[in-house]
Structure 1
């Protein structure tokens, strides 16, 4: 007796955890119910995938959607539209650049209310660790944050009530409390002492170019902050996740700590893998971020580390702002953030698989499986497997030139506009429903749901 399905994705190459196979994907009630070479049972709808590759929907654990308070920078509807169009099906929103930031239960409740029925992808929220909110960490955990974000360098917000970096005393005490709660602390790791001193030196001498900015945030500022945080975590037992690591030297420190038994993971971002510091001059302010883009040698080291499985995750760190904040004579005055939510999966699969020959399963583990495993969403999320949510991106491996009119985020300040990408998302499927099609756009109202409480999974 043949099995019936709500939807069958037919005829595509399917990226599984450790291999790629030509399979049909049978979906029932939003969940993958069957994987087989041929599924002939009745289905209410058929998605033709011949010529495409089905990959697990990206889980982007590092995005800044800027609500409440700064929706003019980016909003949940536009930011998650860009994510969905780029093959992302789940995101974790960071507290930076919301007003108020998600450092209290009241702010988290407000964030949840704003996301309800307005997100095109499933979502969860980070809390924040800032000076003065230690007593909020446990209530935030009970309310369902996936973990906490802290900055070791200046967070950048100048508004009253904006997110602030931690001092060492707050960092240590926060780690102890987060360890007690069984949660994860995510860290922006750059030494504020080094960066602020270098910045003052550069600006005082009138050195305010793109490369001057890059030199003000040297590799050793990242490595020092990583080593300091690892030391504190070893004393407190706190699980760590390092965000947007930009240097192979920092990757190595984290690798060694993990070998020594520490519970630590790391991410890097597509911009560190496909752009270099030379692009800061060529592209201009849209390529400014912190940590800054690095040299070609540093970039090659990151690719090698990714190929060895030493980089756990790829995230966008989508960090948008209004256009006028990307305009200033001094690179030190320009807002530092890259708007790349829509391009992460396409960049990684194109550059990583097409141009460098890295296996699709390895890349998809970094995009999807490892984030789901680390934050307690697996086996429900992160893999094309029977019993998992039917979160799938269908990708066509054919080159195209990214144009501004193809973008869906609010300000469309993507630094990859004009670049030839080697693949493109054809359709995005969220819990069995097509939410985006390349030729038709978005299907109906936003379908994204707040995920149940995630939990820490040790590595």
Structure 2
């Protein structure tokens, strides 16, 4: 993941444990010049070299780990008016996320036209604390014809849904139109990501369950059985394979879904997948205590499913781990009737500590795979790995420090999302982010808090754009 080189003149030096060439983590040096990585060097700095740097700032983090900044491939900043780009990117900074891939299903209107895209670009330029890559979407009824123009204007890819969440903000692309969508996205050379759940199964089960007004939180899991996910995944995979599209399947909750993606990969299809920390940390039984706050689509699954996902993370089968940050306020999550609640949880600030803390306890294979799925995996999938995702000279100096020895509990009162709550409140993941640098600038630290400001972040586009 990291590339070694000779030490040039640099302005900053970070000392800590870095990924060793032979595996594991050992003391090393990350040198930064301006906004870019200048060098990554094993071992302790030569005092003569350090003296010759002309007063380079030195941050020595001891035995903590120095890692690439995370790329959160699934963030909804504007689905709810109460959040916004300032809050979501501040939360990202506080959690070691230096780039967010921003979803296009905004409350005022989905990002499916050049006018809406340009307005959002202006908003992000004014408000982002860390860097942002933007997705567009393609509405039903021929929206795929706009794909090329949106890519030319700077989107890194597209997202569509195979399930009808909202006819305006989050509509469904049916199977027939999905063929045209996949074909056109393939022509642009970008990536299509999908919410892959079978519409007919879920809508039918919801039609039966909704009138019952059940307060049993597991009603939600019963209306979205495993087959509703796997059929949706299969539809997306088969259409992508036949159309030659680059496909990324979002927020998978089942080991079987991961295996389906792996099979298509073995056939040569350009397909990847993501899982989320809530599927790696919770099970459906946690809904009995957190109730509607853990209503997520797809739903939480069994303990065996959770373990199966971790086994696939360890095996390197999971390309991306993302938050699916959906910062609904508590008034939309605390209804007694579970189906009345909005689906999704805030998570961009807890993505890194929860994922890496759990992975560290499982061992080196899980930890290395989790780091890759938080950094280089999403950067590569969205074509921004020329700047993001690894500690390589010439790339952006997006650097975080992770302390696996920390036993700190997550406190929702200190988080930066305007949601004001977290499903991980009180959880001790087994590690903590202590520093976040975005393009060489400290934007958050445990000691100083949030020091990044709106406007510090920039829009990131695909390589060659």
Q: CA RMSD in A?
A: 1.9
How many residues end up aligned between the 2 structures?
Answer: 449
Report the counterpart of residue 38 of structure 1 in structure 2: 44
Report the counterpart of residue 421 of structure 1 in structure 2: 429
Q: Structure 1 regions of 5+ residues with no counterpart?
A: none
Matches within 5 A, 1:271-286: 271-286=278-293
Indicate conservation of the 8 Å contact 2:382/2:462, yes or no.
no
Could you tell me which of 121, 146, 154 is aligned with 2:164?
A: 154
TM-score, scaled relative to structure 2: 0.92
Measure how far apart 1:16 and its partner are.
6.1
Indicate conservation of the 8 Å contact 1:266/1:312, yes or no.
yes
Matches within 5 A, 1:21-420: 21-36=26-41, 37-39=43-45, 40=50, 41-42=52-53, 43-66=55-78, 70-72=80-82, 74-132=83-141, 133-155=143-165, 157=166, 161-397=168-404, 398-420=406-428
Indicate conservation of the 8 Å contact 1:130/1:170, yes or no.
no
Mapped partners of 2:316, 2:111: distance in 1 = 32
Measure how far apart 1:327 and its partner are.
2.8
Change (3 A) 1:346 1:231: same
Change (3 A) 1:414 1:126: same
Measure how far apart 1:406 and its partner are.
1.6
Report the counterpart of residue 453 of structure 1 in structure 2: 462
TM-score, scaled relative to structure 1: 0.93
Measure how far apart 1:38 and its partner are.
2.9
Mapped partners of 1:454, 1:267: distance in 2 = 22
Indicate conservation of the 8 Å contact 1:16/1:384, yes or no.
no
Mapped partners of 1:201, 1:71: distance in 2 = 32
Q: What does the per-residue CA deviation read over 1:371-396, in whole Å, with 9 as the maximum and x for residues that have no partner?
A: 11222222421111222211111112
Mapped partners of 2:256, 2:181: distance in 1 = 26
1:430 aligns with 2:438: yes
Q: Structure 2 regions of 5+ residues with no counterpart?
A: 1-5
Q: What does the per-residue CA deviation read over 1:404-451, in whole Å, with 9 as the maximum and x for residues that have no partner?
A: 222110122210001112111111011111110112112252321111
Change (3 A) 1:452 1:230: closer
Indicate conservation of the 8 Å contact 1:95/1:163, yes or no.
no
Could you tell me which of 4, 8, 26 is aligned with 2:13?
A: 8
Mapped partners of 1:388, 1:354: distance in 2 = 30
Measure how far apart 1:227 and its partner are.
1.0
Indicate conservation of the 8 Å contact 1:376/1:455, yes or no.
no
Aligned partner of residue 244 in structure 1, secondary structure: coil
Change (3 A) 1:330 1:188: same
Indicate conservation of the 8 Å contact 1:175/1:238, yes or no.
yes
Mapped partners of 2:77, 2:204: distance in 1 = 31
